[in-house]
């Protein structure tokens, strides 16, 4: 009870933290200006001036160059980019036909580029504001050093700091830049697109798209209409699939681990390697093989017919119910070895006394499994289980490579009976370019995974007492 | 009395083990069938489209393999040798880059204490919850803005660019390396950078191998991002995954299925060999990373 309250308090502080930090930064800005001498105050306008004037040339030039570059950028294109975010374009391209001349294409705005450049501009503005704050605090520090009569750290000592006390900044610079450029910027862009009408009938530059608020979400969640008529069944199947796939893989994988680790079984290494093969082979190879094996005219149907077990082919991947069963079964082939590896390690760590005590009490192997092994392993692997569940919600490969989401349904919009939300998202992106709906679906998947992860991570000990654990 | 009981127990154990062996053998068979099938078909003569049999009907041949490297294959737009080298190049570069990135992030978040640490970790957690394909199209437009589409360099950037987010396993490992060693080294006047290179890295062989392995294998398996970055005409810059995928799309499957099987086997052999030889590190990686409850 006490613990729960504590964790709730830290949750609430997320947004509050940001606000508090902002306020302290602003008060710092004001109070430093009051206390600052002329050179420090000048740094508020000419960044790096305080450092330059006090002999920290490299640092001063760095801030000054940052400012100049930023101003140049804002004047040439940045300001226009930010302003463009408001309208996302007003001029559609059109063909001007003057009698007697070849018709000319007059280029118009491109909403997509305007949005992309706008988001990039905002990220740059945020970066500049941060640099500005660093500039002020550096100016103040230079002043303080001078007032106390201490020598100012020169470029070399400060650079050396980045290999020691500030080593984390050196280490994180490249990765964070990469993530900003290839994850954060694209994600922000796509999240914003969910609130526009960037769909198949609004494709720039031919036509523009605009802000439409929650329109895409309303379309998806509506009970009438073909979009809602696709979203709810696909969501239902996604959740069913995730539950069944996770539980079946987990339980059967554990049984396999018990079997391999059973006392008296030889060639453990060999058996394990055979199953690990299915992890080692790239999924696009193994799953494409499976798809062809399960084809209506593939080898499995061929053999079944040859043996006279069926008279007509079994529609493994072409009938909705069969296809759903097939993907679940094939997913066992992919997933069991994985959970076998995970649970193997845990099984070995079960205290031997537990088994022995149960044995003396005359417990059957079945009750040993349900009463001892399962609870123990469940306890240890609960976070893993939730990660797997989220992984299955996002299990693109198995569905896309096996059935491609099919068999297609006439009542669905661009989706088939085995489509998960993510594969539907992919199809909407690639096939029909309904980006706004695809993004809205992405946000829904995010919310589902987010809620589940919160439950998973907040309740694990390693998250709560990270320091004590180390 | 007790002798009888122990004999009975022994008998039961033998019976249980036999049952376990039978079960394991059956399961192994099931797991191996698809693998054996594709190998067999890749050596079979006269395969047109997807065969409806498991065992070759018309004898064996190397033809499917030689086709992959012949001019006929290359003329039809399937540059398998070229794709293989492309993938190797991309895999080596992106693996080197992402390993450095992952280890840097993991070390900084595990060992250093700075005020942005927790927020950064939370942001990483949140970013990881968005489906990866959601940002795909935006990544494409960003690459296009830099005029990088249709190039292998773009692929390397995409694979390594987000690598910093995959730090969990490595961080978990660094967390378990005793801090006392760092402190002792610091007293001796070592800087953080020296500690990282001379103490932590040499001690972290399993997790480094795991990181290298996973980031090296990723480009071999991905066909989504390649498909997006390489337009329909950039055949020469495909990687094996996309190339093989294209071989069996609806318009090509009847002609190229046998070539696909040969290609799939050729691609799988080095990957599987690498994986099996390093499986110890892989197992340590996944179990260490996910079970720390």
Residue A11 lies in a domain: no
Is A191 within 8 Å of A447 (Cβ atoms)?
no
Higher pLDDT, A361 or A278: A278
Residue A223 pLDDT class (50, 70, 90 cuts) = confident
Instruction: Please state, in angstroms and rounded to a whole number, the distance separating the CA atoms of residues B288 and B283.
Output: 8
Chosen domain end from A167, A195, A213: A213
Q: Is the pLDDT of residue A112 over 50?
A: yes
Residues A233 and A380 placed together within one structural domain of the fold: yes
Rounded to 5, what percent of chain A is helix, strand, coil? 70, 0, 25
Hey, are the CB atoms on B221 and A176 less than 8 Å from each other? no
Q: Which residue of A has its CA nearest to B180?
A: A470
Hey, are the CB atoms on B139 and A292 less than 8 Å from each other? no
Is A256 within 8 Å of A340 (Cβ atoms)?
yes
Residues of B in contact with A262 (CB under 8 A): 16-17, 20
Hey, are the CB atoms on A449 and B38 less than 8 Å from each other? no
Q: Is the pLDDT of residue B123 over 80?
A: yes
Mean of all residue pLDDT scores within chain A: 86
Q: What is the least distance, in Å, from the CA of B237 to any CA of chain A?
A: 19
Average pLDDT over residues A454-470: 56
Q: Is the pLDDT of residue A115 over 80?
A: yes
Q: Which residue of A has its CA nearest to B262?
A: A285
Q: Is the pLDDT of residue B3 over 80?
A: no
Is A314 within 8 Å of A304 (Cβ atoms)?
yes
Residue A135 lies in a domain: yes
Q: Is the pLDDT of residue B293 over 60?
A: no
Hey, are the CB atoms on A286 and B35 less than 8 Å from each other? yes
Q: Which residue of A has its CA nearest to B144?
A: A113
Question: Distance of CA A151 to CAs A120, A139, A148, Å?
Answer: 40, 15, 9
> Range of A383's domain?
223-469
Is A141 within 8 Å of A63 (Cβ atoms)?
no
Q: Is the pLDDT of residue A398 over 70?
A: yes
Residue B5 pLDDT class (50, 70, 90 cuts) = low
Q: Is the pLDDT of residue B141 over 60?
A: yes
Average pLDDT over residues B46-70: 84
Higher pLDDT, B205 or B11: B205
Residue A8 lies in a domain: no
Hey, are the CB atoms on B291 and A303 less than 8 Å from each other? no
Q: Which of A48-57, A121-130, A232-241 has the lowest mean pLDDT?
A: A48-57
Hey, are the CB atoms on A284 and B221 less than 8 Å from each other? yes
Q: Which of A182, A380, A457 sits opposite B139 (nearest CB)?
A: A182
Residue A304 lies in a domain: yes
Is A49 within 8 Å of A61 (Cβ atoms)?
no
Hey, are the CB atoms on A276 and B279 less than 8 Å from each other? yes
Query: What pLDDT score was predicted for residue A101?
Result: 82
Query: What pLDDT score was predicted for residue A269?
Result: 86
Residues A384 and A285 placed together within one structural domain of the fold: yes
Residue A366 pLDDT class (50, 70, 90 cuts) = confident
Residue A396 pLDDT class (50, 70, 90 cuts) = very high
Q: Give φ, ψ of A91 to 5 degrees.
A: -95, 115
Instruction: Please state, in angstroms and rounded to a whole number, the distance separating the CA atoms of residues A169 and A319.
Output: 55
For helices B240-247 and B80-111, what crossing angle results, to 10°?
130
Q: Is the pLDDT of residue A121 over 90?
A: yes
Q: Is the pLDDT of residue B74 over 80?
A: no
Hey, are the CB atoms on A297 and B37 less than 8 Å from each other? no
Chosen domain end from A168, A194, A213: A213
Query: What pLDDT score was predicted for residue B290?
Result: 44
Residues A229 and A205 placed together within one structural domain of the fold: no
Residue A147 lies in a domain: yes
Average pLDDT over residues B32-53: 88
Residues A302 and A446 placed together within one structural domain of the fold: yes
Instruction: Please state, in angstroms and rounded to a whole number, the distance separating the CA atoms of residues B133 and B142.
Output: 15
Is A369 within 8 Å of A285 (Cβ atoms)?
no
Residues A149 and A173 placed together within one structural domain of the fold: yes
10 Å CB burial of residue A11 (0-12, 13-18, 19+) is exposed
List the 156-195 stretch of B: residues with Cβ below 8 A of A.
Answer: 157-158, 160-165, 175, 179, 191-194
Q: pLDDT tens digits for B165-174?
A: 888 888 888 8
Q: Which residue of B has its CA nearest to A438?
A: B134
Residues of A in contact with B163 (CB under 8 A): 175, 178
Residue A354 pLDDT class (50, 70, 90 cuts) = confident
Average pLDDT over residues B255-262: 88
Instruction: Please state, in angstroms and rounded to a whole number, the distance separating the CA atoms of residues A124 and A104.
Output: 37
Residues of B in contact with A186 (CB under 8 A): 135-136, 138-139, 142
Hey, are the CB atoms on B20 and A259 less than 8 Å from each other? yes
Find the length of chain A: 470
Residue A411 lies in a domain: yes
Q: Is the pLDDT of residue B70 over 90?
A: no
N- to C-terminal Cα distance for chain B? Answer: 46
Residues A209 and A228 placed together within one structural domain of the fold: no
Structure tokens at B116: 């942005």
Residue A10 pLDDT class (50, 70, 90 cuts) = very low
Residue A272 lies in a domain: yes
CATH number at residue A423: 1.10.3720.10
Query: What pLDDT score was predicted for residue A5?
Result: 43
- pLDDT above 70 covers what percent of chain B? 95
Query: What pLDDT score was predicted for residue A341?
Result: 87
Mean of all residue pLDDT scores within chain B: 86
Residue A309: other Cβ atoms inside 10 A: 9
SS3 (DSSP) at A195: coil
Q: Is the pLDDT of residue B79 over 50?
A: yes
Query: What pLDDT score was predicted for residue A442?
Result: 94
Which DSSP string corresponds to B159-186?
HHHTGGG--HHHHHHHHHS-HHHHHHHH
Residue B287 pLDDT class (50, 70, 90 cuts) = low
Residues A287 and A142 placed together within one structural domain of the fold: no
List the 9-68 stretch of B: residues with Cβ below 8 A of A.
Answer: 13, 16-17, 20-21, 23-24, 27-28, 30-32, 34-35, 37-38, 50-54
Residue A262 pLDDT class (50, 70, 90 cuts) = confident
Q: Based on the structure, what is the number of domains in chain A?
A: 2
Structure tokens at B122: 């939370």
Structure tokens at A74: 């804002």
- pLDDT above 90 covers what percent of chain A? 42
Residues of A in contact with B17 (CB under 8 A): 262, 264-265
Query: What pLDDT score was predicted for residue B2?
Result: 56
Residue B35 pLDDT class (50, 70, 90 cuts) = very high
10 Å CB burial of residue B252 (0-12, 13-18, 19+) is middle
Residues A187 and A250 placed together within one structural domain of the fold: no
Q: Is the pLDDT of residue B28 over 90?
A: yes
Q: What is the least distance, in Å, from the CA of B72 to any CA of chain A?
A: 23
Distance of CA A278 to the CA centre of its chain: 26
Query: What pLDDT score was predicted for residue B33?
Result: 92
Is A110 within 8 Å of A198 (Cβ atoms)?
no
- Name the nearest CA neighbour of B203 among B164, B175, B166: B175
Q: Backbone dihedral region of B13: left (phi > 0), alpha (psi from -120 to 50 degrees) or beta?
A: alpha
Hey, are the CB atoms on A396 and B275 less than 8 Å from each other? no
Q: Which of A8-12, A150-154, A235-239 has the lowest mean pLDDT?
A: A8-12
Residues A20 and A148 placed together within one structural domain of the fold: yes
Q: Is the pLDDT of residue A237 over 50?
A: yes
Residues A189 and A249 placed together within one structural domain of the fold: no
List the 217-246 stretch of B: residues with Cβ below 8 A of A.
Answer: 217, 220-221, 223-224, 228, 241, 244-245
SS3 (DSSP) at A211: strand
Residues A200 and A241 placed together within one structural domain of the fold: no
ipTM for the predicted complex: 0.87
Best mutation target among B22, B35, B130, B258 (most A Cβ atoms within 10 Å) is B130
Q: pLDDT tens digits for B178-207?
A: 888 888 888 888 888 888 888 888 888 888
Chosen domain end from A191, A213, A235: A213
Q: pLDDT tens digits for B202-254?
A: 888 888 988 998 899 889 988 888 988 987 778 888 999 999 988 888 888 88
Query: What pLDDT score was predicted for residue A330?
Result: 95
Hey, are the CB atoms on B191 and A381 less than 8 Å from each other? no
Residue A4 lies in a domain: no
Residues A320 and A364 placed together within one structural domain of the fold: yes
Query: What pLDDT score was predicted for residue B288?
Result: 59
Query: What pLDDT score was predicted for residue B15?
Result: 81
Hey, are the CB atoms on A264 and B17 less than 8 Å from each other? yes
Q: Is the pLDDT of residue B94 over 70?
A: yes
Average pLDDT over residues B155-165: 90
């Amino acid at each position: 009870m006490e613990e729960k309250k504590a964790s709730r308090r830290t949750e609430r502080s997320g947004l509050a933290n940001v606000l508090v930090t902002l306020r302290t930064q602003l008060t710092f800005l004001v109070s430093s200006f009051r206390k600052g001498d002329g050179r420090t105050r000048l740094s508020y306008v000419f960044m790096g001036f305080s450092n330059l004037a006090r002999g920290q040339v490299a640092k001063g030039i760095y801030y000054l160059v940052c400012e100049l570059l930023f101003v140049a950028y804002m004047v040439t294109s940045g300001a226009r980019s930010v302003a463009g975010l408001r309208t996302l374009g007003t001029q559609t391209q059109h063909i001007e036909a003057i009698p007697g001349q070849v018709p000319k294409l007059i280029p118009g705005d491109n909403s997509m580029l305007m949005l992309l450049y706008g988001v990039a501009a905002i990220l740059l503005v945020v970066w500049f504001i941060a640099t500005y704050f660093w500039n002020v605090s550096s100016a103040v520090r230079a002043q303080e050093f001078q007032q106390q009569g201490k020598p100012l750290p020169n470029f070399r000592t400060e650079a050396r700091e980045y290999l020691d006390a500030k080593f984390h900044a050196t280490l994180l610079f490249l990765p964070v830049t990469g993530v900003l450029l290839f994850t954060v910027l694209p994600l922000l862009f796509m999240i914003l697109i969910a609130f526009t009408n960037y769909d198949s009938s609004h494709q720039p530059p031919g036509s523009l798209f605009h802000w439409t608020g929650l329109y895409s979400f309303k379309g998806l969640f509506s009970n009438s209409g073909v979009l809602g008529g696709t979203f709810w069944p696909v969501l239902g199947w996604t959740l069913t699939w995730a539950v069944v796939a996770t539980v079946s893989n987990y339980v059967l994988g554990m049984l396999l681990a018990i079997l391999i680790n059973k006392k008296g079984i030889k060639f453990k290494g060999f058996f394990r390697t055979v199953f690990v093969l299915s992890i080692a082979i790239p999924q696009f190879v193994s799953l494409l093989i499976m798809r062809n094996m399960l084809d209506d005219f593939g080898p499995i149907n061929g053999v079944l017919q040859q043996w006279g077990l069926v008279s007509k082919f079994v529609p493994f991947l072409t009938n909705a119910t069969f296809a759903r069963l097939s993907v679940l079964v094939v997913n066992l082939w992919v997933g069991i070895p994985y959970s076998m590896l995970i649970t193997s390690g845990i099984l070995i760590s079960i205290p031997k006394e537990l088994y022995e005590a149960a044995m003396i009490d005359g417990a059957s192997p079945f009750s040993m499994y349900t009463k001892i092994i399962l609870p123990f392993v469940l306890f240890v692997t609960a976070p893993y289980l939730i990660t797997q569940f989220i992984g299955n919600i996002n299990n693109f490969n198995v569905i896309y490579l096996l059935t491609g989401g099919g068999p297609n349904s006439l009542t669905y919009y661009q989706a088939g009976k085995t489509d998960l939300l993510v594969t539907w998202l992919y199809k909407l992106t690639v096939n029909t370019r309904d980006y706004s709906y695809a993004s809205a679906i992405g946000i829904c998947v995010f919310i589902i995974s987010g809620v589940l992860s919160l439950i998973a991570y907040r309740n694990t000990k390693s998250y709560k007492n990270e320091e004590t654990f180390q | 009395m007790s002798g009888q009981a122990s004999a009975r127990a022994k008998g039961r154990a033998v019976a249980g083990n036999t049952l376990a062996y039978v079960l394991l053998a059956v399961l192994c068979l099931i797991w191996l069938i698809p693998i054996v099938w594709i190998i067999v078909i890749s050596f079979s003569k006269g395969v047109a489209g997807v065969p409806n049999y498991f065992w070759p009907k018309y004898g064996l041949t190397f033809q499917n393999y030689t086709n992959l490297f012949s001019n006929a294959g290359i003329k039809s737009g399937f540059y398998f040798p070229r794709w293989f080298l492309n993938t190797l190049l991309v895999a080596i570069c992106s693996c080197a880059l992402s390993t450095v990135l992952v280890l840097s992030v993991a070390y900084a978040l595990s060992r250093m204490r700075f005020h942005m640490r927790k927020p950064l970790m939370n942001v990483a957690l949140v970013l990881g919850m968005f489906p990866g394909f959601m940002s795909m199209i935006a990544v494409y437009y960003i690459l296009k803005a830099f005029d990088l589409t249709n190039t292998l360099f773009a692929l390397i950037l995409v694979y390594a660019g987000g690598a910093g987010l995959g730090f969990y396993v490595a961080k978990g490992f660094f967390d378990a390396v005793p801090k006392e060693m760092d402190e002792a080294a610091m007293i001796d006047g070592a800087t953080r950078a020296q500690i990282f290179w001379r103490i932590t890295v040499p001690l972290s062989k399993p997790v480094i191998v795991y990181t290298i392995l996973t980031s090296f294998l990723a480009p071999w398996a991905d066909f989504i991002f390649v498909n997006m970055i390489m337009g329909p005409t950039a055949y020469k810059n495909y990687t094996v995954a996309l190339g093989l995928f294209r071989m069996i799309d609806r318009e090509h499957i009847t002609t190229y299925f046998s070539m696909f099987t040969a290609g799939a086997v050729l691609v799988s052999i080095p990957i599987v060999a690498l994986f099996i030889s390093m499986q110890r590190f892989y197992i340590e990686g996944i179990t260490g990373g996910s079970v720390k409850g």
